[in-house]
Chain A
């Protein structure tokens, strides 16, 4: 990545212009052609710096419920538990963390009842009893741009 690549990322991280020619608009700001912006973004996608280009939506505004779950999973059950959790399309993020509660995942579904029912099924299916649901009460910050 060179300085121009970084300048492009700063422009397109969360405010890609909603315009017929978004990359031409970005190029205008940076003194680059539309083709040059597209070409550089293509390269950054291939190298893996850019994961995808699209929208992120607020689940509750679309009528969905979401929560953060924490599970205390013994080592011998770890692999099977992670496979069972990740099989759910509503689980979008899942991390192993250094704590007794070692598996942390987000769960989105059409209702909190549906999430609870799925967690109950996971407990039965995997034998992991300690799965907590920690729903959000108030959001103070959600920032998705990273300094580049």
Chain B
């Protein structure tokens, strides 16, 4: 879908925090000077077309029982990327899985975020994954500190 100026104004508003009121789209519509139904229709289109990948409440996972996470960087032969990527993505503990362009200084080309209740649990899951996909060249990058976490402000 193509994004027009009204969509951009709605996206700009939705990337922030919506008021917790019975009719949040009416509140947005008032702020932007358009009709509530038009806001609802446009937001529904943004969701249906995949431009908006989710709509709802963002949780702080540290407070929802998933205390540990590890980014695992895998070095996978190019011909095996799809097979391994799909196998890793199938794990419920994996939230993100991307094939990335490697760098000679860090020659890993597949990245997965693994979540668990503890670092040991993360390690165990990663060991299971490694055995399943048959890749033993990987790096565990445990997060030690959140330095910044925000949502992008587009437009």
Interface residues of A (CB under 8 A from B): 9, 12-16, 18-24, 34, 38, 41-42, 44-45, 47-59, 61-62, 64, 68, 70, 82, 85-86, 89-99, 101, 103-105, 108, 130, 132-144, 146-148
Contact = CB atoms under 8 A, between A and B. Distances in A.
Contacts of A130: 105
Contact of B103 (A9, A59, A134): A134
B154 A134 contact: no
A16 B55 contact: yes
A140 B60 contact: no
B4 to A, nearest CB: 12
A12 B152 contact: no
A61 B51 contact: yes
A24 B66 CA distance: 29
Contacts of B99: 136-140
Given A105-B148, A148-B59, A142 B53 contact: yes
A148 B60 CA distance: 11
B11 to A, nearest CB: 6
- Interface size range of chain B in the complex: 35 or more
Given A14-B56, A42-B20, A140 B86 contact: yes
A70 B106 contact: yes
B144 A54 contact: no
Contact of B154 (A34, A64, A96, A141): A64
Nearest to A142: B96
Given A20-B23, A58-B52, A134-B100, 11 more contacts: A14-B56, A15-B56, A18-B55, A49-B59, A50-B58, A52-B16, A56-B151, A97-B142, A97-B144, A138-B98, A140-B85
Given A55-B11, A56-B52, A134-B102, A94 B59 contact: no
A134 B136 CA distance: 21
B55 A51 contact: no
A50 B77 CA distance: 40
Given A18-B47, A41-B57, A62-B154, A53 B18 contact: yes
Contacts of B141: 97-99, 101, 104
